Amino acid sequence: VSRLAARVERMRPSRLRELVAASTSGPVLSLGGGLPPPEALPTEALAEAADRVLARPDRLALQYPPTEGDPGLIEAIARDLRTRLGLDAPADRLVVTTGSQQAFDLIAKVTLDPGDAVVVECPTYVGALRALAVYQPAFVNVPVDAGGMDTARLEHLLSGGLRPKLCYVVPNFSNPSGATMTAERRRHLADLAMRYGFLVVEDDPYGQLRFAGADIAPVAAHAPEVAYVGSFSKVVAPGLRVGYVLAPDALRRPVVLAKQAADLASSSFNQGLVAELLAREGWLDGHVEGLRRLYCERADALAGAVARRLPGRLWFDPPEGGMFAWGSLGDGVPAADLAVAAAARGVAVVPGEEFVAGGEPVPAVRLSFSMLGPADIDRAVERIALAFEDLNQGPG
Ligand SMILES: Cc1ncc(COP(=O)(O)O)c(C=O)c1O
Query: Which residue has the CA at smallest separation from atom 12 of ligand 1?
Result: 205
The best mutation among 96, 101, 107, 324 to test binding of ligand 1, ranked by most ligand atoms within 8 Å of the C-beta, falls on: 101
pLDDT of residue 396: 45
What's the CA-to-centroid distance between 100 and ligand 1, angstroms? Answer: 6
Atom of ligand 1 at shortest range from CA of 170: 1
In angstroms, rounded to a whole number, what is the distance separating the alpha carbons of residues 193 and 338? 39
What's the CA-to-centroid distance between 180 and ligand 1, angstroms? Answer: 16
> Which residues have CB under 6 Å of ligand 1?
34, 99-101, 125, 127, 170, 175, 203, 205, 231, 233, 238, 243
What's the CA-to-centroid distance between 36 and ligand 1, angstroms? Answer: 12
Atom of ligand 1 at shortest range from CA of 103: 11
What's the CA-to-centroid distance between 308 and ligand 1, angstroms? Answer: 31
Please provide the DSSP assignment of 80-133 as one string. Answer: HHHHHH-----GGGEEEEEHHHHHHHHHHHHH--TT-EEEEEES--HHHHHHHH
> How many residues are given for the chain?
396
Contact at 8 Å (CB) between 352 and 123? yes
Q: Which residues pair with 226 in a beta bridge?
A: 200
Burial-class residue 389 by CB neighbours within 10 Å (0-12, 13-18, 19+): exposed
Q: Which residues pair with 244 in a beta bridge?
A: 96, 230
What's the CA-to-centroid distance between 322 and ligand 1, angstroms? Answer: 12
Atom of ligand 1 at shortest range from CA of 242: 10
pLDDT of residue 395: 52
In angstroms, rounded to a whole number, what is the distance separating the alpha carbons of residues 53 and 176? 36
In angstroms, rounded to a whole number, what is the distance separating the alpha carbons of residues 352 and 340? 13
Atom of ligand 1 at shortest range from CA of 323: 16
DSSP 210: B
Question: What are the mean pLDDT values of the chain's consecutive 10-residue runs (396 residues total)?
Answer: 85 72 79 93 98 96 97 97 95 97 98 98 96 97 97 98 98 98 98 98 98 98 96 98 97 98 98 97 97 98 98 96 96 92 95 94 96 97 97 66
DSSP 355: G
Q: Is the peptide bond before 176 cis (omega within 30 degrees of 0)?
A: yes
